[in-house]
Structure 1
């Protein structure tokens, strides 16, 4: 029994928040959204800090059960609600492939995307100074190496990161690689295999993908394509 609807605390500039929102919308899971504007410091308010002492989004509340960390939340929802089995397979080996990527994701895909976005967008916004080109070039090189590993280690010749069907792994990954578009930068332009993967993921997710990324698309439209 799934219980009542979930309540999620999100900021759509956050990659994991977008992944969670897309999962909820695509799978028609009953939910409400409480926006938490990181740029306004709302994640540091006393009420939110009581909910999540780490002062990070996303956060989920479900029947008085509070959960943080997007990976844990997505897996909880996949186990709790009647969603398609391919999202987080029950077969131990197929599930292990999803866990393998999500364990790798945080210290690789996510870490290196954050470095690029922080250097190119957030720090210049906060300081009013242009991006440090040397640091940006280094961050881009590290991200490019990670993208190559995604192709070689996970995507290989299969349609999605963990097999022939879309999983939570693809959802987390696609929201990350979309993030640099907020600076007008397409980090996949030299990675044809990942470009094709992104198109398959976007097609599988449909309108929830576009809705979740609408603010990022608007932000990127104001920047020259890099």
Structure 2
């Protein structure tokens, strides 16, 4: 089985962590989003959506991280706590997975691009009002994550880590890669982060986030010309 990944990407990190944690055998196929390799002819044969992550299992190809996570959980019969058979726990997980796309995913990604990639790689100044608005949106999503989804539970679905926590933690970490400490002043979020990290294992957690947390330094070494053809699309999306 092949997994097409770039660990700069939050959904790619969730799939990478899940497969690695559960000892699922896979071949890591690196596709550089920053160099636009997802638009190459070869990757198009794997995923016409042109996004990461992607999976190829024999002749079967699959896109979208949530679909891939569920496929892996079911095919490899991973421990029940990841996606419990219990109706109510599963409903809580599905609720979070349905909400996160246009909430924490969108706002965390936007901060990463506005604070780091757009000014440092694309060379475009980001107006302060854009940054302020994006931060306000992110703060709103983080507040909901704490008050609605985590509440006073150890994890989103109860006493054990689940796919919801895995998908959530990689999103919450994304703006951290731009130098924004989202855990400052949020003891509940910080304590949840620590529990998730322990459940995943610090070594695997750090491995998955190494590229992201080194992004501020690595962008200074990037060949920025490779991203210029993506510039109009990126600015339209985030500016």
Q: Give me the TM-score of the superposition, normalised by structure 1.
A: 0.92
Q: Counterpart in 2 of 1:216? A: 212
Question: Paired residue for 2:18, among 18, 23, 40?
Answer: 23
Shift of 1:155: 0.5
SS in 2 for 1:9: strand
User: 1:160–1:197: 8 Å Cα contact kept in structure 2?
Assistant: yes
Q: Counterpart in 1 of 2:83? A: 88
Q: Give me the TM-score of the superposition, normalised by structure 2.
A: 0.87
* Per-residue Cα deviation, 1:84-134 (whole angstroms, up to 9, x for no partner): 110001122211111110000101110111121121122113431333221
User: 1:181–1:220: 8 Å Cα contact kept in structure 2?
Assistant: no
User: 2:13–2:170: 8 Å Cα contact kept in structure 1?
Assistant: yes
SS in 1 for 2:61: strand
User: 2:46–2:56: 8 Å Cα contact kept in structure 1?
Assistant: no
Distance, in Å, in 1 between the alignment partners of 2:9 and 2:211 is: 11
Structure with the higher helix share, 1 or 2: 2
User: 2:49–2:63: 8 Å Cα contact kept in structure 1?
Assistant: no
Distance, in Å, in 1 between the alignment partners of 2:122 and 2:218 is: 19
* Per-residue Cα deviation, 1:111-167 (whole angstroms, up to 9, x for no partner): 111121121122113431333221011101111011111111111110011211100
Question: Paired residue for 1:118, among 108, 113, 138?
Answer: 113
Distance, in Å, in 1 between the alignment partners of 2:161 and 2:197 is: 10
Distance, in Å, in 2 between the alignment partners of 1:197 and 1:221 is: 28
Q: RMSD between aligned alpha carbons?
A: 1.5
Q: Counterpart in 2 of 1:151? A: 146
Distance, in Å, in 1 between the alignment partners of 2:217 and 2:119 is: 18
**Aligned residue runs from structure 1 range 159-174, under 5 A:** 159-174=154-169
| Unpaired stretches in structure 2, ≥5 consecutive residues | 220-239
User: 1:7–1:32: 8 Å Cα contact kept in structure 2?
Assistant: yes
* Number of positions where the alignment pairs a residue of Structure 1 with one of Structure 2: 218
Structure 1: which 4+ aligned runs deviate by more than 6 Å?
none
Moved more, 7-16 or 89-98: 89-98
Shift of 1:222: 8.0
Q: Counterpart in 2 of 1:3? A: none
Distance, in Å, in 2 between the alignment partners of 1:102 and 1:220 is: 29
SS in 1 for 2:205: helix
SS in 2 for 1:166: coil
Asked if 1:58 corresponds to 2:53, the answer is yes
Q: Counterpart in 2 of 1:180? A: 175
Question: Paired residue for 2:2, among 4, 7, 12?
Answer: 7
